[in-house]
Structures are given as structure tokens and as C-alpha cells.
Chain A
Amino acid sequence: MNKANNSELAIETRGLVKRFAEDIVAVDRVDLSVPTNTVYALLGPNGAGKTTTISILTTLIKSTNGSAKTAGFDVVTQADEVRRRIGVTFQEMVLDEELTGRQVLDYHGRLYGQSKVQRKAKIAELLALVELEEAADRRCSTYSGGMKRRLELARGLMTNPEVLFLDEPTLGLDPQNRASIWAYIRDLKEKQGLTLLLTTHYMEEAEEMADTVGIIDHGKIVAEGTPRDLIDQMGADTIRVTGSDGETSFTEKLRSLEFVQTVHTGDGVIQIGVDSGNHRLAEVVTLANENSYTISDISVTKPSLGDVFLKYTGRELRDK
């Protein structure tokens, strides 16, 4: 790969490894290539290594092995260049609660060397965005969880970052706030060429926002692609069956059927990829009866990112 190509990547990792102890490999040889001006969603179950990956990319911790570049700069040797160009909201709340919302943003801007005029304008803009104008001069300790989260998002955007990292940014936000924040971020992406790496447990969010989705499990990227491509791999329709007894023979028989494309089991759910869900429903039910598999729930769905997630990690994406 030549240099020009590389510089168009906002995030680039090669063989990234983070080992916390001999037996805890949080990130295991991860290669990421996130082009500038795109949105990358990192999905994975708890403990998969999402936060650790973000911590390395934001210069918070050092990797054990491999290399990482953010905004075109090495996260270890050019950490200051990276820091000037990123915005971050951490997974857990990180707020100086004794300060007012306005002070939080103001001190943040000052640490990045913004002038008073710049800060004032940006604070006004962001407070309006996150709808905290009225609470701006109250101490954050009086804020609700959602208000704190919104303030943190505003702080992450305070310094006009080139690359924004959001670790579960919309956890605890109501739908209306989520929508307005995503609209704003989309706007930034279009107008300012922002690159975004986020983790989320809301799959509609990932499906809607992300240009690329990476599914990470046990520190490894197990699947990557556009949401569309990943979903299309799942087959045309999915019949989801929940039930008990005779699961093994039932799934074995299913696999031998001609119209069945895929069969995945996990979390007590059997997912059957078929050519046409509505037509095959009856046949599946009959087969279940023949194998004395007791169906407690059955539904036909167009596959979603959640199904992709289940396929690769064997776990349901925590949702709603």
C-alpha cells in the first residue's frame, strides 16, 4: 500500500494486541482500516475488547504489540498530534461534578488552547445542540444521567475533532435526544469530514449510522463489512424458533433441507436462513413436531444486524 492511500485512513491498526495479564488478552491481533469521513461501528458482547481498542486509539493506554495510527499519526510516538485531533466520550461517566456544565466545556476548551472567543461560540452552539442551555450554570452533580451524558457528548465535540470516539454514547438517552445527536453528527460528517468510531448496543443505530460494522469477540474481529453486506450473508429471510427438547436432531434435519441456507443456534434460539420465510413456516413446524421439538415461539423476520451478531458471537445483542 502506498503512502497516499494510507493517509486517507483515519484509523489504522496492524496486529494490535493488548494483554493485561498472561491470560487476559483483551485485544487480539486486530487490523482496522477506517477511511476518513466514514462511520465505523464496533459491536461486540461485554468484555469483547471494544473499550480497550478505543483506549489504545485515543492514547490512553499502550498496546502490548502491533501498531496503531489515529488521524494519520502514531498513537505512541506522535501522541500529542493524535490528541489534538480527537474527541472522546468514555463509556463510563467522567465528569467533574463540582463544576457547572458551562465550566466543564470551558476548561476542556482551555486545555486544548482554544481562545475565549472560540470557546464562547462553541459552548453556545453545543449547549443548544444537547439542550442544556437552561441547566448550563448549574453544577453537574444536579444533572440527571441523560443530561450528564449529553454534556459529555458536547465536551467530545468541543474541540472540532477530526476523529471522534464514542463508547456507547447514547446509553441512557431518550429517543428524541438520540435522534438529534445523530443528526448533528451526520451533519458534521458531511460538512467537516468527521470520522467516527463508535460502540453501541443499539443495532438500529449501527445499521443506520455505520458505513462499516466490525463485530469483535474475545478481542478478535470476527466479521466486518457494510451493514447491508453482513445482513445479506444471512440469507433471504430468517425463521427464529425458540423451544425445547430434540434440538440436535431437529437442527440436523433442517440442515439437510434444500431450501434451508443456514442454521445457527445460540442462547436457546435457532435461526434458520431460508429462501422465503412465509412459505416455509409450515414445513419447519412439521419438522419440529416430527423430531418432538416443542416450539414455544416462532417468527419470521428479515434478517437484521442483530442476527448477524448472534451468528458470529453466539449471543444476543443487548437491546432496547
Chain B
Amino acid sequence: MSAAFILWGKHMSKLKVHSEEMFGMLIQPVLWVILFGLGMKGLVGMGAPGGDEYYIDFILPGIVALTALGGAIGGGVIWLNERTSGVVKEYLIAPIPRLSILMGNAMSIVTKSTIQAILIFIVGILLGVQIELNPLGWLGGLVLVTGFGIGFAGIALAVASKVDDPGGYHMLIFMLNLPLLFMSNALYPLESLPRWMEIGAQINPTSYAVDGIRAMVLEDGATLAGGETLSLWLCFVVVAVFAILGMGLAYSVFRRVTK
């Protein structure tokens, strides 16, 4: 797996060169929190448990999920570029496991998402969000962010392994991305959804990642989620399974195209 770390380091070092990408990576979540959190507050917040004062609290974990999805999509684009430019060939003839090539990419995606998640919470705190003063909970939250990020990175990498042009990639990813984000409890409480979407939300790993983060990192996470939270261990199990399935999918697609 050391090869995964080398490739991860390579991706991260590129970020330093791209000051625009770095800037975007940092500023984007801040904008999301401020624009979406404050803007939607009046509209959606009415139905939020605890009233619209708490909509930002409610939505922070959702924005974490949203940026993690965005990060995975960007990571998939990087992978697509490496494939089409042939750089992947250099990895393929190196004495390193195939999986580590994908893992290196997924790790850099997740690193960025984690940094963004932390930033989102800092901005939230500045806007008055009450968080739990429990480092263990924060750690748990990071684990969920990471797992969720790996899972979706897997999906993005799988699509980027199969598709040969950016247009097709974005089309496919968009179709996967939308339900994952909107058919969940990330941006609005479960009970405000129509019944069929609520069922969708309950089989959506995003709900489990978001709910787990909510419960562990935010004060009154349970109330925010509308009283009945998904049990924590279930959140971890679902996110772990999602991570493994996502990478598994990427791996099997990648293997098939490089045969």
C-alpha cells in the first residue's frame, strides 16, 4: 500500500502548485454554508425541527456530504485525465498493486474532503452553531466523512475508468449524484419528504453518514434530526459497507478495462 501513499503525495503536491484549486477548495464550502445555510433558512427552515434558528445546525453535516460528493467528482476527473493522457500506463507497468493506484487517488480525494469538512464546521461555529465538545465524537465524524468519501470516490473512479470523455463522465455522475444528495436527510429532514423519497433516503448511504455526523458532532443532534435518529452503529456499518462496495466497484471496472 505504500504506493498508494506515494501517489497520494503526488496528488497533494500538485495542489500546492495550483493555488486556484487550493483557493477554490477552501472557499467553496464556506460559500455553501453561508449562501445555502442562510439563504434556505427561511424557506426550508420552517419545517426544521427546533425551528429555522437551527437550520444551519441541521444542514452543516449535509454540506459536508455535498462537498465530499463534489470532491469525489473532481477526483474522478483527475483520474479520467490520467487515463486519457496515458499517465496511468506508467503506474500499470510499475511493480505496484492495481488497487493501490486507485487507493492513492481515493485518498487524495478524501483528504481534501476532510479538510473541507473541518472548515465547514469552523465556519458553522462562527455562525453560532453549537457543537458537542467531545473529541471522540469529532473523530467519529471524520471517520464517517472519510468512509463516505471513499465510497463515492469509488463510484466516481469506476465511472471515470469506464468512460473515455469528460462529457459522458459528467453526465453519468450527475445522474448518480443527484439522488444521492437530494434523496437523503442531508438538506431537509426525513419527514418533510414524500413517502417514496423517504424510502429512498433510508437506503441511501448519504443519510447514514449525515445522520451519524449530526448525532456525534452537533449538540442536540437527535432533536435536529427530528427525534428519531438512525442508530450510530448502523451508520458506521452502512458507511463502511458503502466504502468497500464503492472501491470494489472501481477496482472491478478498472481491472476489466486494463485486461
Contact = CB atoms under 8 A, between A and B. Distances in A.
Contacts of A139: 17
Interface in A26-62: 58-62
Interface in A75-91: 80, 83-84, 86, 88, 90
A107 B93 contact: no
Interface stretch (A94-102, A128-136, A195-203, A250-258): A94-102
B92 interface: yes
Contact of B6 (A60, A93, A107): A107
Contact of A111 (B6, B17, B258, B259): B6
Given A60-B93, A84-B95, A111-B94, 12 more contacts: A59-B92, A60-B89, A62-B259, A86-B93, A88-B93, A94-B85, A94-B90, A98-B17, A108-B94, A110-B6, A113-B95, A139-B17
Nearest to A94: B86
Contact of A92 (B86, B91, B95): B86
Contacts of B3: 111
B6 A61 contact: no
Interface in A173-217: none
A259 interface: no
A88 B94 CA distance: 10
A94 B87 contact: yes
Interface residues of B, number: 23
Interface in B1-18: 2-3, 6-7, 10, 13-14, 17-18
Contacts of B172: none
B contact face: mostly helix, strand, loop, or mixed: helix
B93 A83 contact: yes
B96 interface: yes
Interface of A: 58-62, 80, 83-84, 86, 88, 90, 92-96, 98-99, 103, 107-108, 110-113, 139, 155
Contacts of A88: 93
Interface of B: 2-3, 6-7, 10, 13-14, 17-18, 82, 85-87, 89-96, 258-259
A111 B91 contact: yes
Contacts of A83: 93-95
Nearest to B2: A113
Contacts of A59: 92-93
A contact face: mostly helix, strand, loop, or mixed: loop
Contacts of B89: 60, 90, 94
Contacts of A110: 6
Nearest to A139: B17
A96 B95 CA distance: 19
Given A62-B259, A95-B87, A96-B87, A111 B96 contact: yes
Chain A CB count within 10 A is highest, among B94, B96, B258, for B94
A139 B3 CA distance: 23
11 contacts: A62-B259, A83-B95, A86-B93, A92-B86, A94-B85, A95-B87, A107-B10, A111-B90, A111-B94, A111-B95, A113-B2
Nearest to A107: B10
A90 B93 CA distance: 11
Contacts of A84: 95
A61 B86 contact: no
Contacts of B91: 111
Shortest 8 CB-CB distances between A and B: which pairs? A94-B86, A83-B95, A111-B94, A84-B95, A110-B6, A80-B95, A96-B87, A58-B93
B124 to A, nearest CB: 33
A113 B6 CA distance: 10
B215 to A, nearest CB: 41
Contact of A90 (B17, B18, B86, B258): B86
